[in-house]
Structures are given as C-alpha cells and as structure tokens.
Amino acid sequence: MTVDHPPLLKTPLFALHGELGGKMVPFAGYLMPVQYPLGVLGEHNHTRTSAGLFDVSHMGQLVISGAGADRWLESLLPGNIIGLGIGHIRYSMFTSEQGGILDDLMITKRDNDLFLVVNAACKTQDIAHLHAHLPADVTLTELDERALVALQGPKAAGVLTRFAPGVENMDFMTYAEMPVCGADCFISRSGYTGEDGYEISIPQDKAEKVCRTLLGEEEVAAIGLGARDSLRLEAGLCLYGHDLTTETTPVEASLLWAIGKRRRAEGGFPGDRIILDQIKTKNYQKKRVGILPEGRAPAREGTGIFAADGTEIGSVTSGGYGPTLGGPVAMGYVKPEFAAIDTEVFLSVRGKQLPARVAKMPFVPNHYYRKKS
C-alpha cells in the first residue's frame, strides 16, 4: 500500500536557491538547500570568517496580542515573559505536563504584542497547542506572508549597516523594526551559529530583492543546512527533535539558565512540579553533555556511549565534524554520574569502542555582540 505524503513546500526564495546552485533536499516539510557549490566545509568556514546568508523561512512566525498576552504565554512555558523588556528577546520552551519539551522558541516583546519564532517541524503542533489554550482576550496571528533569513558572521553587522543604519548598535538578543532595501523588516540580533549576526523577517514579496542585495556584497555567501548544522553543533546549540524532545526536561537538557528565578520560585507552567523537583533534588536520569571523541572518526546520532567497564550510559543526539575545531564533536545524554567535564567515556563507532571525554560547550568560543558597559 502506498502512503500519500503532502507535497513539499517551497520558501519565497526557492527560485533564488536554484539560480545559486543550491542542492535541494526535503527538510521539515519543505524543499531546502543543504549546500551550494562552495560546499559545506567552505560555507562553514565562510560564516566563521566573513558573513553567511541562510534561508530560514520554513520557521514559524507568530504574533500574540491582547491585554493579557504576556501573562498568558508565560503560563505555557518556564521563561520570564512578564518581566521581559520592550525590544528584548527571550529563549524559552513549551513544556508538557510531564515536564518534557514540546518545542523551543524565541520570544520578542514588542510595543503592543509578542513576536514568536518557532521550529519548522513543530510549528503546526505549536499553533494547535496555543489555540487549545487561547483565552478570549488574546489573539494569535500567523505571519504567513513573511520570509525569514539569517545573516551571520563577524562581518554581518558591517554589511547590514550599509542598508539599515543603526543595526550595528543593537545588543545581542534585542529587536528593531526598520527598512532594508525598501522592505519593512523585523530585525533581531540573534542567530544559530555562535557568531554575531541577525535574523531578518521580510515581507515575502520583497524577500528576493533584499537577499540579492545582501548577496551582492563581497563579504556575503549563501549558506545551506549542512553548514548551519555544523555551526550550531560547534556552538553547543540544541536541535529540536534530536537534542530536545518530549522525553527530555529542561533540567536534563542543561537548559536551567532558561528558567527564570521567579519562575523557579513560583512555578505556574506545565510540568512545573516535575521540573522544579529535579532542580531541587538533582534527581533525574540523564544529562545533556558535550563530547569530544579522540581521533578523527565522527560519532553520529544514535551512537552508544559507554563507561570504561562496558556499561552503556547514554547515546549521542548530534554529532559530526567540527571544521573550526578541526576534529569530531558531539553532544548527547549520559547518566548524571558521568556528566562531569573530562569524564572518560567510550563511543561505539563501526563496531569499535573509541575513547572520548565529556567536554564543556560551546566547543569553539561564541562571538555574540554585547555592548561594553
């Protein structure tokens, strides 16, 4: 029996990807470029040294408005949304009643509403989740008519300033609205690479023009999903569905920093009893850690992690080659007693037990822009 799958969607930049020689693959229900002729290694290194432009239009863009919008949203996640300042961005997670992570997301507080960016693979269920709890005085709007791109790297600020003067003064995790090449854009100084940079929400009918203009600058190259993955892995950033799932809590995922102090004290979000008990008692079954394998062989997702006596203690959730580090990198979950930095572990790769050690993340220094006080 054949199973009918829904047709793959295309972003507003699909034609441009083809013109640039992008190799298109299915990803989260969309056809997305995994790489361009520069290749994954070249794209990774270009982003670390110059500026890379990523199409992330498959992500979900939502607006929540209404007098009680921030208080209501806070009831669905452990972040401090009520205390978030206007023009500031917060990373948080939707949690289940069992304490598991339903998705992670970015939340921006604007003058009269909240702007959310959610993961592509989760956006349908996130929207359904929000609608299921939506009170009468709060409105949820999907921004289907906007594209989303990320300009990342040490030269990103210099490039974008030519077309949007003032963006160079934005701090990390802040937001502004300003025109770029005649398009009314939402600009966030944030990203998924560990580098300085911006995410830019653009009306979809202007997206190609803006991207062509940015790509016309000598510092900028188009970057695909392959390099996006190696960049975020070196930066120690989680990928939902791999490093974060409904079977992992924020505490187990080493995301305690994303739970505000007031929220730890008051609770009031799904799964709070379980999550706050884990914080208090440190009683949980696994912990997300960084892993540095010895040698050159990468440990891919699903690789078993073992103790010196041969006992299996966890598994790799993301792994590959780190071009900037110059060797393999991975992250995964291990039993808490094996989570200390420099703990020796072994990885089952191609039938061999290869030595590795638990390592601090990020694997390479991040370069987020923060103003000097």
Task: Classify domain 285-359 by CATH architecture.
Answer: Beta Barrel (2.40)
240 and 248 Cβ atoms separated by less than 8 Å = no
| pLDDT(4) > 90 | no
**pLDDT given for residue 350 in this prediction:** 86
pTM of the complete model: 0.96
12-34: b or e for each residue (b if 16 or more CB lie within 10 Å)? bbbebbeebebbbeeebbbbbbb
What are the pLDDT digits (tens) for 251-298?
999 999 999 899 999 999 999 999 999 999 999 999 999 999 999 999
| pLDDT(145) > 70 | yes
Domain extent listing, the chain: 1-283, 285-359
What CATH number matches the domain at 1-283, 3.90.1150.10, 3.30.1360.120, 3.40.50.720, 3.90.1300.10? Answer: 3.30.1360.120
- As given in the structure block, the two tokens for residue 113 are 């509403």
**pLDDT given for residue 1 in this prediction:** 53
| pLDDT(207) > 60 | yes
Count of CB atoms situated within 10 Å of the CB of 5: 8
**pLDDT given for residue 194 in this prediction:** 98
Q: For the ranges 114-118, 199-203, 343-347, 348-352, which has the lowest average pLDDT?
A: 348-352
Q: Give the chain's largest Cα–Cα span.
A: 64
What are the pLDDT digits (tens) for 158-196?
999 999 999 999 999 999 999 999 999 999 999 999 999
364 and 322 Cβ atoms separated by less than 8 Å = yes
- As given in the structure block, the two tokens for residue 170 are 């934005």
Average pLDDT over residues 37-55: 98
Look up tokens 């939902």; give the residue.
240
| pLDDT(5) > 80 | no
| pLDDT(351) > 90 | no
What are the pLDDT digits (tens) for 53-89?
999 999 999 999 999 999 999 999 999 999 999 999 9
> What is the percent of the chain with per-residue pLDDT over 70, rounded to a whole number?
99
**pLDDT given for residue 258 in this prediction:** 97
Q: What is the mean pLDDT of the chain?
A: 97
How many residues appear in the chain?
373
Same CATH fold assignment for domains 1-283 and 285-359: no
Confidence of residue 6 (pLDDT cuts 50, 70, 90): confident
> What is the percent of the chain with per-residue pLDDT over 90, rounded to a whole number?
96
| pLDDT(2) > 60 | no
HSE on the CB side for 237, CA within 13 Å?
18
Average pLDDT over residues 14-42: 98
